[in-house]
């Protein structure tokens, strides 16, 4: 089938220019011939995750975005506030390919038996530069879907499924027995609910509106607390007492929420304390920040004793830490439950050019819970 492989394909690019301008465009790039252990994947579907937007739009002020170019080859430019250019220094002047993960079909393969065995298979892949029509990847990195599964079903089989599975793994490995999650009505949050319901893990969902609470209750979530409610802290303490959760994964990052979670965990722990300790409870409380939906500073009043930790958390270092065998166990579970536990839902599908319209950019860059875009590069 190698003779069917196109020699070039479109790829979405993000460029920060030294004069303080972000430029998004489509480039026609050569499709490399696969090495012996590599395959060429025709990408059918690639999601726009919050974790993609950092590279795609960087620190640009998208309210200044202007579209030019043609309908087939749109170009979007936006200005980057000068104070953020230092943070962009390492990528300035370098045209970056974007897109963490995708689903597609293997259309060509290198000479190795492992690579050849994948020809015609529908696979999920991860590794960047997925907002493109073709991608050359190592055969061993392909997650081969079950017969009948579509590329769209496999498009989001890494980031959200492995992140939500990893949260339960971290919970167990660090000695906790129940979990707190924020921005909990997100695609990832709904997936985490399905995992926890299936695995019998108690999960406290923190959402930001009554509508989001309703979404989660409808899929069977038991503990849902709404941070916009005047009784938020009482509700949260109540849920923590009931579940005993002492670890949280927080996608919000900024503002007071992480500290409020630690405070509520401390109050819950002290409800069962027998003696006064001037240093607070000895119950260890952990919050991992894995996103930054709120870009303001994180504010901690430290009214939660001394037995606490706050930290950044990312999937990739976690997978490296647990090793290949454990990581493969998690990946296999995703394949096995791809259309149930790990089913993703999209609100819109756009072509590569369609992803660079101001309308689409504004919609997916809002990172609103319930809005999820899928790029379909072959359309």
How far apart, in whole angstroms, are the C-alpha atoms of residue 332 and residue 54? 29
Nearer to a second copy, 313 or 373 (CB): 313
Binding footprint of a second copy on the chain (CB under 8 A) = 54-55, 87, 90-91, 94, 96, 253-254, 259, 270, 273, 275-279, 282, 289-290, 292, 297-303, 305-314, 317
Residues 6+ apart with CB under 8 A from 242: 202, 223
Closest separation between CB of residue 371 and a second copy, Å? 22
Nearer to a second copy, 42 or 176 (CB): 176
Determine contact, residues 158/145, Cβ cutoff 8 Å: no
How far apart, in whole angstroms, are the C-alpha atoms of residue 321 and residue 242? 32
How far apart, in whole angstroms, are the C-alpha atoms of residue 306 and residue 73? 55
Nearer to a second copy, 86 or 214 (CB): 86
CA distance to 37, 105, 177, 363, per residue, from 192 (Å): 34, 28, 15, 24
Closest separation between CB of residue 11 and a second copy, Å? 17
Would you state the structure tokens that stand for residue 211, as one six-digit string?
A: 């509508």
Closest separation between CB of residue 301 and a second copy, Å? 5
Would you state the structure tokens that stand for residue 203, as one six-digit string?
A: 């999960």
Nearer to a second copy, 193 or 260 (CB): 260
Closest separation between CB of residue 226 and a second copy, Å? 23
Q: How far apart are the first and last CA of the chain?
A: 22
DSSP line for 42-79: EEEEEEE-HHHHHHHHTT--GGG-EEEE-SSSEEEEEE
Closest separation between CB of residue 297 and a second copy, Å? 5
CA distance to 76, 89, 106, 119, 159, per residue, from 139 (Å): 34, 34, 10, 10, 19
Nearer to a second copy, 20 or 254 (CB): 254
Nearer to a second copy, 1 or 273 (CB): 273
Closest separation between CB of residue 24 and a second copy, Å? 15
């Amino acid at each position: 089938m190698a003779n069917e492989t196109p020699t070039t394909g479109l790829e979405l690019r993000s460029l920060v220019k030294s004069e303080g301008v972000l430029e998004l465009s489509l480039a026609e790039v050569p499709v490399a011939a696969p090495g012996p252990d590599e395959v060429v994947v025709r990408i059918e579907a690639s999601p726009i995750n919050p974790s993609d937007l950092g590279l795609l739009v960087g620190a640009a002020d998208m309210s200044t975005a202007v579209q030019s170019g043609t309908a087939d080859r749109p170009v979007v430019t936006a200005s980057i506030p000068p104070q953020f250019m230092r943070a962009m220094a390492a990528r300035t002047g370098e045209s970056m390919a974007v897109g963490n993960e995708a689903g597609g079909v293997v259309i060509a393969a290198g000479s190795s038996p492992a690579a050849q065995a994948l020809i015609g298979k529908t696979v999920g892949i991860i590794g960047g530069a997925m907002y493109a029509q073709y991608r050359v990847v190592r055969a061993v990195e392909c997650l081969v879907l079950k017969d009948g599964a579509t590329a769209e079903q496999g498009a989001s089989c890494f980031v959200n499924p492995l992140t939500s599975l990893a949260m339960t793994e971290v919970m167990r490995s660090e000695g906790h027995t129940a979990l707190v999650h924020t921005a909990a009505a997100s695609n990832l949050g709904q997936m985490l609910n399905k995992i926890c319901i299936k695995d019998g893990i108690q999960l406290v969902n923190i959402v930001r509106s009554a509508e989001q609470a309703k979404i989660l209750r409808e899929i069977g979530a038991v503990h849902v607390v709404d941070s916009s409610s005047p009784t938020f802290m009482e509700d949260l303490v109540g849920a923590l007492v009931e579940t005993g959760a002492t670890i949280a994964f927080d996608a919000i990052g900024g503002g007071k929420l992480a500290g409020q979670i630690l405070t509520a965990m401390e109050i819950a722990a002290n409800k069962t304390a027998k003696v006064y300790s001037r240093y607070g409870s000895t119950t260890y409380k952990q919050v991992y920040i894995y996103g930054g939906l709120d870009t303001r500073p994180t504010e901690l009043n430290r009214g939660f004793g001394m037995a606490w930790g706050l930290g950044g958390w990312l999937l990739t270092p976690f997978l490296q830490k647990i090793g290949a065998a454990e990581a493969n166990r998690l990946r296999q579970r995703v394949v096995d439950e791809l259309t149930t536990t790990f089913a993703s839902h999209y609100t819109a599908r756009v072509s590569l050019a369609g992803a660079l319209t101001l309308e689409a950019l504004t919609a997916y860059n809002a990172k609103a819970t319930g809005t999820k875009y899928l790029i379909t590069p072959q359309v």
